[in-house]
Amino acid sequence: MTEFATFAGGCFWCMVSPFDEQPGIKEVISGYTGGHKENPTYEEVCSDTTGHYEAVQIAFDPAVFPYKKLLEIFWQQIDPTDEGGQFNDRGLSYRAAIFYHTKEQRALAEDSKEKLAASGRFQKPIVTQILPAGPFYPAEEKHQDYYKKMPFHYNHYREGSGRARFIRENWKKRKSDEELQKELTHLQYEVTRKNATEPPFKNEYWNHTEEGIYVDIISGEPLFSSLDKYDAGCGWPSFTKPLIRQELEERFDTSHGMRRIEVRGKTSDSHLGHVFDDGPGPDRARYCINSAALRFIPKDRLEEEGYGQFLKLFN
């Protein structure tokens, strides 16, 4: 048995892969719906003159993957409080919406929206519309399965648009201290959750020189690149700059009778280390970071582990 689900979530490139490889999913097509022009082109839809949304239409087996689970995935790809587009993509064609095909789909969609609003996950109102499905026009072939055809550009776009970061910050489950104590070593836990400092010259990465990136050991957020790492002579990994400055949070720290700037992971709220103004770069920054707060991913594993957008750094 095959049923159809239609979702608009901003750029349709980013709405295919979350559904594509789930069990019971037969096909995911990028296209246009909700407007008044037959067989519109991508350029016409983007001009906001056709009334269409960029959307995906999913053919699925409800016995294997029920519509309720599709809704759960849909909500976790979007900002449901944004009525003017999604992330950096603005305009009518980038609005989010659920297009229902049956009365049952409508009831399930409305119920899921009500539950999301009641959950308190978002401070703003949930504004994503629930609309009857109409004609769906497949997009041009170059837009189909874009994440497979152009993986580098897709990953770069997904990160650069703000979508990936929004999903990480708003939908990633934050683990409890009890869970972290089981998953991390004693030192990793003490550093990240208790603001401890590991011994200098006796930690994993202080003299590590392999090419790759360093990510937050708890959240997996990309933090630093080996290209910005240098030997500061202090016995801890030191970097001249972060990979993505927005992933870090800096706080004034007066502990131990000192005046320092602490660096924390924004998503994980992990203690990472401190930043000083005695570095070799143009802005003099030296990010002095605990190895115990980091996980290293070599450049030949970046694509495999979902960090393919950073491969360009090493080419």
Which conformational region is residue 44 in: left (phi greater than 0), alpha (psi within -120 to 50 degrees), or beta? Answer: alpha
Q: How confident is the model at residue 21 (pLDDT cuts 50, 70, 90)?
A: confident
Is residue 173's pLDDT more than 90?
no
Q: Where on the phi/psi map is residue 79: left (φ > 0), alpha (ψ -120 to 50), or beta?
A: beta
- Bridge partners for 214 per DSSP: 224, 296
In degrees, rounded to 5, the angle at the alpha carbon of residue 158 between the alpha carbons of residues 193 and 297 is 50
Rounded to an integer, the average pLDDT of 265-269 is 85
Tell me what pLDDT residue 224 has.
96
Task: Please choose, from the candidates 154, 152, 159, the residue with its C-alpha nearest in 3D space to the C-alpha of residue 143.
Answer: 154
Lookup: tokens for 187: 């030192």
Sheet holding 3-9, edge to edge: 129-132, 96-100, 3-9, 53-60, 25-33, 136-138
What's the pLDDT score for residue 206?
Answer: 96
pLDDT band at 244 (very low <50, low <70, confident <90, very high): confident
Checking if the pLDDT of 188 tops 90, the result is yes
Q: How many CB atoms lie within 10 A of CB 275?
A: 20
State mean pLDDT over 212-216.
96
Nearest CA-CA partner of 290 in 269, 272, 306 = 272
pLDDT at 274 over 80: yes
Q: Percentage of the chain surpassing pLDDT 90?
A: 71
> What is the pLDDT, as a whole number, of residue 172?
67
pLDDT tens-digit profile of 89-123? 999 999 999 999 999 999 999 999 999 999 888 99
Tens of pLDDT along 176-186? 888 999 999 99
Q: Considering 11, 14, 46, 234, which one is annotated as catalytic?
A: 11
Residue 25's pLDDT band (boundaries 50, 70, 90)? very high
What's the confidence (pLDDT) of residue 93? Answer: 97
Is 288 among the catalytic positions?
yes
* Banded pLDDT at 4 (limits 50, 70, 90): very high
pLDDT average, residue stretch 129-143: 97
The number of residues in the chain equals 315
Q: Which residue has the higher pLDDT, 23 or 111?
A: 111
The single residue listed with the structure tokens 């095909």 is 101
Considering only the top CATH level, what class is 3-171? alpha beta
CA dihedral 12, 13, 17, 19 (to 10 degrees): 10
Of 80, 87, 70, nearest to 122 by C-alpha is 80
The proportion of the chain whose per-residue pLDDT surpasses 70, expressed as a percent, equals: 99
Among candidate residues 14, 46, 234, 288, the one labeled active-site is 288
| Half-sphere exposure (Cβ direction) of 102: Cα atoms closer than 13 Å | 7
Per-residue pLDDT, 306: 82
Structure tokens at 143: 């837009």
* pTM score: 0.62
Burial class (CB in 10 A: 0-12, 13-18, 19+), 10: buried
- Alpha carbon distance 242, 126 (integer Å): 34
Q: Which residues contact 21 (CB under 8 A, 6 or more apart)?
A: none
**CATH 2.170.150.20 domain span(s) along the chain:** 177-314
The pLDDT of residue 277 is above 80: yes
Domain 177-314 grouped into CATH 2.170.150.20: yes
pLDDT digits (tens, 9 = 90+) for 29-54: 999 999 999 999 999 999 999 999 99
Number of Cβ within a 10 Å radius of residue 66: 15
Cα 106 → chain centroid: 28
